[in-house]
Amino acid sequence: MDTNMTMPTGAMTLHYPDLGTEPLPISVNVDPAYFELEREHVFRKSWLNVGREEDVPNPGDYFVKHLEILETTVLVVRGQDGVIRAFHDQCKHRGNKIIRKGSGNCKFFSCGFHGWTYDTAGKLVNVPDEDQFFGLDKSKIGLTPLATDTWEGFIFVNDQPNPPESLREWLGELADQFQGWFSAGDRTLMASYMVDVKCNWKVFIDAFVEAYHAPYIHGRSVGDAFTSPENPLAHLWSARLYKRHRSISVWGTERPPSRAEEMAFRFGKKVWPAPGTVNEPLPPGINPNRHEKWAFDINLFFPNFQLGIANGYYLIYNYWPVAVDRTKMEIKLYMYKPETPGQFISQEYVRTLMRDVIREDLNTMESTQATLRSGAMTHMYLSDQEVAVRHGYKVVQRAIEGLL
Amino acid sequence: MAEAQLPAGFEDLHRFAAKWALPTERQRNAERLASSMEEIREFYDVMAPRMDAAVEHVNQFTMDAMPAPSRRLFDLAMAFMEISHAVEVWGSPDIDDAFPADRLEFVLNY
């Protein structure tokens, strides 16, 4: 039951005694050797989200995604049998990339170099001039698979062909918390951006898993959606930390809409930046305490998949490390499918404001990374409100030490 | 006689069509960033009270079956939403000291 005192009492960080409260070293964000450890022990050993089932709706649909962190290009394809698979986009003849980029639909993939052809289940079905080879066994040189599985419509791949944990085991407590919410409500991709930023992937994520920055970074824009006299510093409702993943519930409040916002939510449905009100059946994992003054939940699926969920929409961030000081971020907003031009115009309000508010967030990362290299500062100080930031560093370190 | 730029009844918006009736978000955003605050405010002030009528008009059609003048009106309404933030939020065409807009890649072509 909400009261006028909105501050969650009790310390989030101290609820997890093994987290600690000490300042954390920043060397992990600038050290290329640590980055290589992350590549080996985090990214090569994790289930990574690469898309959604709707990206490949029909048999033969495919897309490719270059993942610098795995030093490979992943080819995701829905086979003729309807099963979604992922392969290294690499011809097993001499290693040429088969699909250069993009997406499409086909029954077979042919390498442009010498015409070697694979079907959509990765089987090598044709080698031109085959009798010129010596003991070639086509059945043994299909496309190299990555372990692939889906959860709530999200496609995950794992660089280990036989991961020690299934996707559901990996998701742990989060596996059952969303219970089909993503396939209900006809939510569809209505905004999509990509940005290439000169900062470490952890510095990037840090900026998006706390609300402490809201009154400052978003002071002119949507900061007043997360603050009020009763919660002036955007304190969180709660944080739930798990072995790898974490969730936070962000406080939110109604504020008088601007002229364009009032129009937008009259021409179409009310979504971000209006706070989520509990008027849609929510699964247990979203706003678990059913707070009324609730903006959204942020779920960070270790290592790099962020799922922000509110009433009526969800916002995906995928953070792809390229180098110790460079990260590419994909931003995807899913909301109701517009049925009328008016609803499309309504969503343009949401899409364009969200895009600009994210640019406010993006403003801190390169400047932070640039100063971290100086060595003038060795540790960062994290408040209770930044508990999700702290948890991120701890989990990465545990992964590197083999303690997960 | 040139084809009407906008549907009948929206002649008051003709003078904005060439500049603001752009078909994609990328183009509308670029135009906003290249404009002065005076140009943006003029469009905002004239378009705001016309938005209800514009939406009522375009809602007669579906997105994929809109006659060209109506599509242009639709684009003007989309541009209104784009520039609204310059007027209502930041008071300038772009965010102060912002991450460069041209480094954000637009993946969809809306």
pLDDT-derived band at A150 (thresholds 50, 70, 90) equals: very high
Interface test with A, best of B50, B89, B109 (most A CBs within 10 A): B89
Residue A8: pLDDT over 80: no
Question: Are residues A359 and B101, on separate chains, in Cβ contact within 8 Å?
Answer: yes
Amino acid at the residue A51: G
Of B58, B82, B104, the CB nearest to A193: B104
Residues 6+ apart with CB under 8 A from A144: A87, A88, A90, A92, A161
Flag if B95 and A359 touch (Cβ within 8 Å): yes
Q: How confident is the model at residue A5 (pLDDT cuts 50, 70, 90)?
A: very low
Reported as a single tens digit per residue, the pLDDT across A184-225 is 878 899 999 999 999 999 999 999 989 888 888 888 888 888
Output the pLDDT for position A9.
55
The rounded mean pLDDT for chain A is 92
A188 CB within 8 Å of a chain B CB: no
Q: What is the 3-state secondary structure (H, E, C) of chain B?
A: CCCCCCCCCCHHHHHHHHHHCCCCHHHHHHHHHCCCHHHHHHHHHHHHHHHHHHHHHHCCCCCCCCCHHHHHHHHHHHHHHHHHHHHHHHCCCCCCCCCCHHHEEECCCC
Query: What band does A277 get if pLDDT is binned at 50, 70 and 90?
Result: low
**Can you give the pLDDT at residue A2?**
44
Residue A165's identity, in one-letter code, is E
pLDDT band of residue A10 (cuts 50, 70, 90) is: low
Q: What is the ipTM of this complex?
A: 0.96
Indicate yes or no: CB of B98 within 8 angstroms of CB of A191.
no
The answer to whether residue A3 scores a pLDDT higher than 70 is: no
pLDDT at position A382? 93
- Between A4 and A273, the higher pLDDT residue: A273
Displacement of CA A7 from its chain's centroid (Å) = 28
Q: In the A/B pair of chains, how many CB contacts fall below 8 A?
A: 104
Q: What is the mean pLDDT of residues B68-96?
A: 96
Instruction: Test B110 with A351 for CB contact under 8 angstroms.
Output: yes
Q: Rounded to an integer, what distance in angstroms lies between the CA atom of residue A138 and that of residue A118?
A: 10
pLDDT of A289 higher than 90: no
Residues from chain A that touch B108, judged by Cβ atoms under 8 A, are 189-192
What is the helix (H) or strand (E) element at residue A149, kind and residue range?
A: strand A145-151
What pLDDT is attached to residue A390? 96
Taking the CA of residue A193 and the nearest CA in chain B, the distance in Å comes to 5
**Contact partners, residue A68, CB within 8 Å, separation at least 6:** A320, A321, A322, A323, A328
Q: Are A9 and A235 in contact (CB under 8 A)?
A: no
Model confidence pLDDT, tens digit, residues A55-101: 999 999 999 999 999 999 999 999 999 999 999 999 999 999 999 98
Phi, psi of A213 (to 5 degrees): -75, -15
The runs of H, that is alpha helices, within A197-340 are 201-206, 214-217, 259-267
